Chain A
Amino acid sequence: EVQLLESGGTLAQPGASLRLSCEVSGYTLRDYAMAWVRQTPGRGLEWVSAISGSGGTTHYADSVQGRFTISRDNSKNTLYLHMSSLRVEDTAIYYCGKTINWGYLVSWGQGTLVTVSS
């Protein structure tokens, strides 16, 4: 059974840094591109970032470019999202997802809540 489990969400101050993790099981992580998607009541679902199976290719939404870094450790079956210079508008539930050819998300984690507030 494919499972994705996010962790690391917490309350952070504006300008702070945070690292989210997504541990996967039930499949070989390196065989799939992975993505982070966030959700807020106001902005709905928003694609944040994606990374190739090998980790050599990454992509970011304009809203997080230069502040967030996606990475993966295939030996640990874990995907990461390092978030820096956090802003209030980064407040959201962050989901990791297994993509098919960078496209649709065939599996999702349960989400982790990041709240940015002073």
Chain B
Amino acid sequence: EIVLTQSPGTLSLSPGERATLSCRASQSVASSFLAWYQQKPGQAPRLLIYGASSRAPDIPDRFSGSGSGTDFTLTISRLEPEDFAVYYCQQYGTSPRLTFGGGTKVEIK
């Protein structure tokens, strides 16, 4: 099973700042089959990025994904108030068996 480790656990930033979230896999993720989700309290996760760098429909371009192999990054170029949430990475290189990271909380500083 591929284990995904996200860091940091919590990121304290101000609106307008840049957020850089990391997701490291215990082994190489096939074909960059990595997705990122945003989850707000009381809501289901929402797909942001798939294929490591492709934005899902209706996702603002301030969200970008990069990386390959075992190291992946989600960047939010300028934080908007609605971006404060928990972010999860998920690999699907071993689909249908999927694994998720433990999440990074982006909180208001």
> A108's contact among B45, B92, B96, by CB below 8 Å, is which?
B45
- SS class of chain B's interface: helix, strand, loop or mixed? loop
How many chain B residues touch A (CB < 8 A): the figure is: 22
Interface residues on A, range: 20 to 34
* B residues 83-109 touching A (CB-CB < 8 Å): 88, 90, 92, 95-103
User: Are A102 and B95 interface neighbours, CB within 8 A?
Assistant: yes
Instruction: Count A-B contacts at CB 8 Å.
Output: 62
Which A residues are in CB contact (< 8 Å) with B88?
44-45
User: Are B102 and A101 interface neighbours, CB within 8 A?
Assistant: no
Rounded to whole angstroms, the CA-CA distance of A108 and B96 in the bound complex is: 16
10 residue pairs, one from A and one from B, having the closest CB atoms: A103-B92, A108-B44, A104-B35, A45-B100, A50-B96, A47-B98, A102-B96, A102-B95, A59-B96, A104-B50
